[in-house]
Amino acid sequence: MPEPSQTSSEPSAYATEDSWSIEDLIDFEYAARLEARQDEAEIQQRDKGVRERLKARPTSLKRNRVLLKHWLQKIREDSFPKNTKAGSFFTSSFSFVSKACAFVSVGLGAVLAASLLRYDGIQAVNVSAYIGLFIILQLALALLSTLLVLLPSKSGNRLNRFLGISSLLTIALRLFSYLSKAIESKLKGKHRNALEELEGSLESLARQHARLMRWLAFSAIQRWALAFNCGVLVATLAIIAFSDRAFGWQTTLDLAPEFVYQAIRASSFPWSWAFGEGTGFPSLADIEGSRIVLKDGMRALRSDALVSWWSYLCLGVISYGLIPRLAFAIFGQRQSRLVLRSHSFDDATASAIANRIRGLNIGFESDCEAKREISHDANSQGEIESPRSVKGRTLCLAVGDFKVDSIQSRIASNLHVPLENVEMHRFDSLSDLHRSDSIEQMLDDFRNIVLLHPAWLPPIEETKETISLLRSHSNADTLITLLLAGMPAADEYEIPTPESLNAWRSFVRKQGDPYLAMQELAP
Amino acid sequence: MTEQSIPVFAIVGHPNEGKSSVVSTLTENDRIGISPFPGETIRNERFSLKIDQQTIIQFVDTPGFQNPSRTLSWFQSSGLTGVEAVSAFREAHASSPAFDHDCELLEPLSRGAGILFVADASRPVSQSDREEMEILRLIGNPRMAILNPKSDRERFLDDWKNAFRQTFNAIRSFDACKANFENRIDLLEALKSIEQDWSPQLEYAIKRLREERERKTWLCVDIACELLERSLGLKLSKLTSRESDAKKAQSELEMKYRERLASIEQQSWNRLLSEFGHSKLSLSAPENELLSEDLFSDQTWQALGLTRKQLAIAAAGLGAGVGAGLDLALGGIAFGVFTATAAATVAGAALFKGKELARMKIKRIPLGSYKVRVGPNRNEQFPYILLDRFLMFHRAVAKRSHARQDREARLDDEQAKQGVCSQWSSDRRSLYARVFKAMRSERGDSLEKLRNDFRKLLFDSLNEEPST
């Protein structure tokens, strides 16, 4: 998503408003869920506070990410002292685990290096194992990581899946789903619902923030690998500096020293311009002189050739271990920041909060007042950017005995879209909708899809199938809104009961679709 | 009755229509999982209506339809009907998790179970409902529609009835949360009409249910008798060495006495709850009214037991009986003076000394110690209040539907004002007064003479509906 340019009038303030950290994001998700359990009056009061705060900066109302940052700030001031700060809890826990893993990695690298450099004075240290583990393997991993970064995103995703990096999350979710299904028959309905809602929420979070999580995991792994290489290097240098080591190589194969020399020379390419033959890597004579033949013993080897390998080993670890890991760690960090910066906050939860603060959602008196205030500010400061639902045309699919003509204007006003932008189609049942030949065609043309459904009929498997159908024919980030109507009464529709709305709310949570919203059809 | 001949009914319908509530009420089982949230039932559960460990009817609580449109499409396109279609459908969709609930709910129908289609009549008829009804029509098992309104809204009732008429053999209104014993019997009676073959078994079930109800009422009579006897005959005593300790012990004993009375009453209530299968219900009455200090406030006297006037008359009747005996012994030469005097004395005592709960005495006994004694109960009004509360409690428990989910209930002031003792005829009050006197007296033989009449009277009282 392209980043909008900063406004010239208040660049520094805008930059702060616009920046989101992982801590902020977690706090936001936490606060949004917390708000679902809060009192309506409390929510309205807070929204009013946010609007007051933004009165001086009406441009901040334009974009969801800025508006929601203010909302988060307000909710932090109001409620968080009383509650756990989810974001800081996560970041401090993650930082602690990350540091602990880095510490362990340093130790592991040092121990591994020390064990591979063990020397008893009878036989020279065979460098093959050290080269295989710390240079060739690391080179292979660095190449793979480069491929991951450089390949186009689609192939990169495939490779990611193959390597299991992004699928770790999927595996975790599937495991959770499997376990919850195994125990759900033993649970009471209330607990089963809670479990399914939790599963849905996790899936929704994973779908929404999968990229961020991936880069976060990527950079953390790179940092641990960096620490591992530091451990290897420090241990190698310390052993070389403070003890006597004789390095050699051996093979049973009929391998000419020239071949080994060529391979070593080629692998020294990254540093050979600075440290040449004899300094940065062993010469052919050194390689010939350090070939271990067990029957001949140590005395058959050349003493000067036995020490010629250490610089090659250290530079190999630096070039194929340290430097690539450092680069990848920096890259991963940068990618995480980029993902955070490009997060659009246009999912159902974020859009609902933003629209509510703008006063565009429900016809509360205070909201109407706010709407007037906002319109006034907009007129004096330039037009407010429309919320997402106002953009483009809206397709409304009504399932049930709805009188399309009379309800259309009400739907338009509920969704804050011009009447002419709403296209309505009515179906007797969900199966009629499924059977409709034109549904695929219809869905292609619209960015906003609304499914008008009676709130008093609880959601069933066929409802879930319908949502899946709509999603399969639309983009992953197309907002699908379940518009729920109360019971018909004369020419009107009643307000849906809280019990029926709770059932639908639970259904939406269980779907794990961040772009699935629910709204009641208000009078 | 063999297991094969036991009628089995599957309770089916859209999710959250009150299927489990209907089963809970019909089987008098308050342990069935009921939730205001859809999807509580995910597996078929069989509940038997048992009498003396013998199953007389079986009800199967099923999950709601999840795919009515697709299921109906399959039935229509398959060209199959009846049990054959159900089996084929279940086989075709056995491996599809999306049809898990549909396959499950159709299982009893594939075995020929009768259908009780439950619908919430307080909402409109939807296309899904029509599809579900059509599926059941294609299956063809004997079926009845049950209108179980979740609210008082009636404007959709005719729509439902019209929709049902095309598909079902019978239609009944049955509010699972308000239905009492007679409503249940009515429903079972109606089930006879949907399948003639089941008529004898249902007839037998209804007969056994009525017998069981009568047995329970007699058991309640016994519980009430025991409550009254134990409460009226309760005596507590304590020995102390000094007179000052005796005064202190007196107040402690009085408190203990009140606690014991409350405990006796609670025990009888718990037995009632257990007999009527309300295992999870905690039903309480306004506690302090019975045994608190202001028990005999004017307000309490007006609400429960007899009125002051009725109490005086009942007591006068008893006194007159004693006085008349003396008059007769004197051959009538006293011209009924004893009768009149005794009646007036006892009536006066009932009116003015009635506020004491029990007789309290400190008695000096040989060897220099003191005996403190509380009881037996001497308050004239007390047994009437106790009985009134028992009758109220019984009525609330016996009428209460097992589908109700409020686990804690209280006999509120409104119910408390429905005391029945004050509405009795004077003959009945007189018999009760004699029984209470006999219960208080130490002579068991006088009570035995009255016991049968008293039990019959109590049985009638337990079966009576309150006059409002």
Look at residue A38 and tell me whether its pLDDT is greater than 90: no
What's residue B299's pLDDT?
47
Shared domain for B320 and B407, answered yes or no, is yes
Residue B280: list chain A partners with CB under 8 A. none
Higher-scoring residue by pLDDT: A491, A237: A237
Buried-state track A350-368, b at ≥16 Cβ within 10 A, e below 16: bbbbbbbbbbbbeebeebe
Alpha helices, DSSP H, located in A243-361: 257-267, 269-272, 284-289, 303-306, 310-317, 323-342, 348-358
Could you report the per-residue pLDDT of B158-197, keeping only the tens digit for each?
999 999 988 888 899 888 888 888 998 999 999 988 888 8
Shared domain for B285 and B146, answered yes or no, is no
- Residue A7: inside a domain, yes or no? no
Look at residue B90 and tell me whether its pLDDT is greater than 90: yes
**Cα B228 to the center of its chain, rounded Å:** 19
Shared domain for B156 and B289, answered yes or no, is no
Of B175, B210, B245, the last residue of a domain is B210
Torsion of CA A348, A349, A351, A357, to 10 degrees: 150
CA distance linking residue A163 with residue A156, whole number of Å: 10
Shared domain for B17 and B106, answered yes or no, is yes
CATH of the domain at B38: 3.40.50.300
Shared domain for A360 and A407, answered yes or no, is no
Q: Which of B421, B69, B337 is nearest to A460 (CA)?
A: B69
- Residue B225: inside a domain, yes or no? no
Yes or no, beta carbons of A458 and B99 under 8 Å apart: no
pTM of the model: 0.74
| Percent of chain B at pLDDT exceeding 70 | 77
A162, with CB counted inside 10 A (0-12, 13-18, 19+), is exposed
A458 touches chain B (CB under 8 A): yes
- Residue A442: inside a domain, yes or no? yes
CA distance linking residue A261 with residue B195, whole number of Å: 96
- Residue A8: inside a domain, yes or no? no
Shared domain for A416 and A509, answered yes or no, is yes
Give just the sign of the alpha carbon dihedral A498, A499, A502, A504. Answer: negative
Sole residue written with tokens 């709204």:
A519
SS3 A274: coil
The tally of domains found in chain B comes to: 2
Shared domain for B258 and B153, answered yes or no, is no
Could you report the per-residue pLDDT of B126-136, keeping only the tens digit for each?
989 999 999 99
pLDDT band at B222 (very low <50, low <70, confident <90, very high): very high
Could you give the C-alpha distances from A42 to A35, A67, A78, A82, A365, in angstroms and in order? 9, 18, 10, 15, 15
Shared domain for A162 and A79, answered yes or no, is no
Shared domain for A369 and A509, answered yes or no, is no
Yes or no, beta carbons of A460 and B35 under 8 Å apart: no
- Please compute the mean of the pLDDT values over residues A245-273 and round it to a whole number: 88
- Residue B215: inside a domain, yes or no? no
Residue A452: list chain B partners with CB under 8 A. none
Yes or no, beta carbons of A434 and B101 under 8 Å apart: no
Could you report the per-residue pLDDT of A121-137, keeping only the tens digit for each?
888 888 889 999 998 99
Q: Which of B278, B275, B152, B156 is nearest to B219 (CA)?
A: B275
Yes or no, beta carbons of B39 and A457 under 8 Å apart: no
pLDDT band at B223 (very low <50, low <70, confident <90, very high): very high
Shared domain for B42 and B101, answered yes or no, is yes
- Residue B2: inside a domain, yes or no? no
Q: Which of A247, A246, A264 is nearest to A255 (CA)?
A: A264
Structure tokens at A470: 């709509």
Of A355, A380, A405, the last residue of a domain is A380
B123 touches chain A (CB under 8 A): yes
Torsion of CA B180, B183, B187, B193, to 10 degrees: 160
Quote the Cα angle for A127-A131-A133, to 5°. Answer: 120
- Please compute the mean of the pLDDT values over residues B398-408 and round it to a whole number: 80
Contact criterion met (CB below 8 Å) for B14 and B132: yes
A288 touches chain B (CB under 8 A): no
Sole residue written with tokens 């006068």:
B316
Shared domain for B281 and B326, answered yes or no, is yes
Name the residue among A190, A461, A487 with its Cβ closest to that of B66: A461
The tally of domains found in chain A comes to: 3
What's residue B445's pLDDT?
67
Shared domain for A182 and A261, answered yes or no, is yes
Look at residue A12 and tell me whether its pLDDT is greater than 60: no
- Please compute the mean of the pLDDT values over residues B19-42 and round it to a whole number: 82
Shared domain for A322 and A462, answered yes or no, is no
What's residue A153's pLDDT?
61
SS3 B304: coil
Residues spanned by the domain of A301: 88-342
Could you report the per-residue pLDDT of B405-455, keeping only the tens digit for each?
777 777 765 555 556 677 777 788 788 888 888 877 766 667 777 888 888
Contact criterion met (CB below 8 Å) for A383 and A73: no
pLDDT band at A14 (very low <50, low <70, confident <90, very high): very low
- Please compute the mean of the pLDDT values over residues A202-228 and round it to a whole number: 88
What's residue A4's pLDDT?
40
SS3 B409: strand
Shared domain for A351 and A393, answered yes or no, is no
Higher-scoring residue by pLDDT: B33, A455: A455
What's residue A380's pLDDT?
46
**Cα B408 to the center of its chain, rounded Å:** 15
Look at residue B279 and tell me whether its pLDDT is greater than 50: yes
B383 touches chain A (CB under 8 A): no
Of B154, B177, B210, the last residue of a domain is B210
- Residue A6: inside a domain, yes or no? no
Look at residue B99 and tell me whether its pLDDT is greater than 90: yes
Look at residue B294 and tell me whether its pLDDT is greater than 50: no
Shared domain for A316 and A446, answered yes or no, is no
Shared domain for A174 and A65, answered yes or no, is no
Shared domain for B153 and B272, answered yes or no, is no
Indicate the residue type of A125: V
- Residue A332: inside a domain, yes or no? yes
Higher-scoring residue by pLDDT: B92, A175: B92
Could you report the per-residue pLDDT of B359-375, keeping only the tens digit for each?
666 666 666 677 888 87
Shared domain for B169 and B276, answered yes or no, is no
**Cα B98 to the center of its chain, rounded Å:** 42
B395 contacts: CB under 8 Å, gap ≥ 6: B466
Yes or no, beta carbons of B68 and A462 under 8 Å apart: yes
Higher-scoring residue by pLDDT: A156, A170: A170
- Phi and psi at residue A218, in whole multiples of 5°? -60, -50
Chain B residue with Cα closest to A187: B40
Q: Strand pairing partners for A399?
A: A427
- Residue A9: inside a domain, yes or no? no
Shared domain for A218 and A326, answered yes or no, is yes
Shared domain for A18 and A101, answered yes or no, is no
Strands (E), B276-403: 282-284, 358-365, 369-377
Look at residue B325 and tell me whether its pLDDT is greater than 70: no
Length of chain A: 523
CA distance linking residue B223 with residue B244, whole number of Å: 40
Chain B residue with Cα closest to A427: B127
B68 touches chain A (CB under 8 A): yes
Shared domain for B180 and B49, answered yes or no, is yes
What's residue B141's pLDDT?
92
Range name among A56-70, B39-53, B57-71 with the lowest pLDDT average: A56-70
A498 touches chain B (CB under 8 A): no
Selected residue of A181, A184, A436, A462 to mutate for chain B interface (largest B Cβ count, 10 A): A462
Pairing verdict, β A422-427 and A448-454: unpaired
Contact criterion met (CB below 8 Å) for A340 and A20: yes
pLDDT band at B330 (very low <50, low <70, confident <90, very high): low
Count of beta carbons in the 10 Å neighbourhood of residue A290: 26
Residues 147-176 of B with CB under 8 A from A: 153
Structure tokens at A173: 């979710």
- Residue B45: inside a domain, yes or no? yes
CA distance linking residue B89 with residue B70, whole number of Å: 11
- Residue B409: inside a domain, yes or no? yes
Shared domain for A51 and A188, answered yes or no, is no
- Residue B30: inside a domain, yes or no? yes
Shared domain for B188 and B279, answered yes or no, is no
Output DSSP code: residue A463: H
Structure tokens at B186: 């009515």
Higher-scoring residue by pLDDT: A177, B309: A177
Contact criterion met (CB below 8 Å) for B402 and B28: yes
Higher-scoring residue by pLDDT: A91, A439: A91
Alpha helices, DSSP H, located in A55-152: 64-78, 86-116, 127-131, 137-150
Shared domain for B272 and B125, answered yes or no, is no
Residue A428: list chain B partners with CB under 8 A. 127
Look at residue A410 and tell me whether its pLDDT is greater than 70: yes
pLDDT band at A460 (very low <50, low <70, confident <90, very high): very high
Of A334, A358, A380, the last residue of a domain is A380
Could you give the C-alpha distances from B30 to B34, B60, B150, B184, B277, in angstroms and in order? 9, 15, 18, 15, 7
Could you report the per-residue pLDDT of A82-102, keeping only the tens digit for each?
566 788 888 899 999 999 999
B274 contacts: CB under 8 Å, gap ≥ 6: none
A518, with CB counted inside 10 A (0-12, 13-18, 19+), is buried
A193 touches chain B (CB under 8 A): yes
What's residue B138's pLDDT?
93
Mean pLDDT, chain B, whole residue set: 80
Residues spanned by the domain of B417: 233-463
Yes or no, beta carbons of A193 and B39 under 8 Å apart: yes
